[in-house]
Amino acid sequence: MTWISFPRQSYGSGVAIAIPAIYRSTVGKKAVMAVSGAVMVTFLVLHMIGNWKIFFGAESFNHYAHWLRTMGEPVVPYRTLLTLLEVVLVLSVVLHMWSAWSLARRASAARPVKYHGKKKSHAQGYATHIMRYGGITLLLFIIWHLLDLTFFVVNPKGSAATPYDRVVADFAPERFWVTAIYIVGVVMVGLHLRHGVWSAFQTLGLRSPRNNRALRLLAGGLALVLTIGFLIVPLSVTFGLVS
């Protein structure tokens, strides 16, 4: 790995700072974005499958929620593994956002004045808006989701109820606006994934003219499955299939 060393005289502390050159490059930032995105996609798939436990009844869903907090016991203390997973997820989100912001700044600096010649295609413009504004929407949705079903600040049942009761109360028919928030948020996740997964294949050098169509279908299929998979639970509660 190549390292960039800065001269001592450039810093008052007199301490030489070395930063991996790959992380300062556009390719490196895209790789960080792709890998952190892959971590988040893996989490989403596992999270979606866990959510489906609600269709097996309250006991099954509550047992699953309890198991998440007791993984590894008695080898490790209560909630240790879950906390480690949460730390990895938070780091992935931060790195992903940092990479996106850094790449956007670099692109803006490289082209401070818009070209007057060739215009962006509709597809390029669509992708740019989805990844930029969709990312902001996703951040707001994640904050709401954490306040709702992790810290129970905005959940009608609060921390005293069981996980199953909190979900049922959250998406009750009279709270249709909460279901609407989740629909918008999850759809944005799907749109973000559709473009992001395909871009990750390209960044990691997995795309070629031969498999380009297949990878696009894979990215679109994964996004569709996750979108439907996450929406099934709130919609089932709202329409009385789960109560």
- Alpha-carbon distances, residue 205 vs 80, 162, 198, 199, 215 (angstroms): 36, 46, 11, 10, 12
* pTM of the predicted model as reported, rounded to 2 decimal places: 0.84
pLDDT per residue over 49-69, tens digit each? Answer: 999 999 999 999 999 999 999
Residues of the chain with pLDDT under 70: 1-23, 111-133
Q: What is the pLDDT of residue 23?
A: 67
Report the distance separating Cα 145 and Cα 162, nearest Å.
Answer: 17
Report the distance separating Cα 136 and Cα 14, nearest Å.
39
pLDDT at 4: 47
Cα torsion at 217, 218, 220, 225 (round to 10°)?
A: 130
3-state secondary structure of 226: helix
Q: Long-range contacts made by residues 53-58, C-beta under 8 angstroms, separation at least 24?
A: 54/164, 54/167, 54/233, 54/236, 54/242, 55/236, 55/242, 58/162, 58/164, 58/165
Determine the pLDDT at residue 130.
60
- pLDDT at residue 10, rounded to an integer: 47
Which residues in 67-192 belong to E strands, given as ranges?
Answer: none
Token readout for 51 is 């959510």
Which pLDDT value is given to residue 16? 43
CA distance 151 to 86: 14
> CA dist 171 to 42, 144, 182, 197, 233, Å?
25, 14, 9, 30, 9
> Residue 137: its pLDDT value, please?
83
pLDDT of residue 14: 44
C-alpha distances out from residue 184 to 101, 103, 130, 177, Å: 23, 26, 13, 11
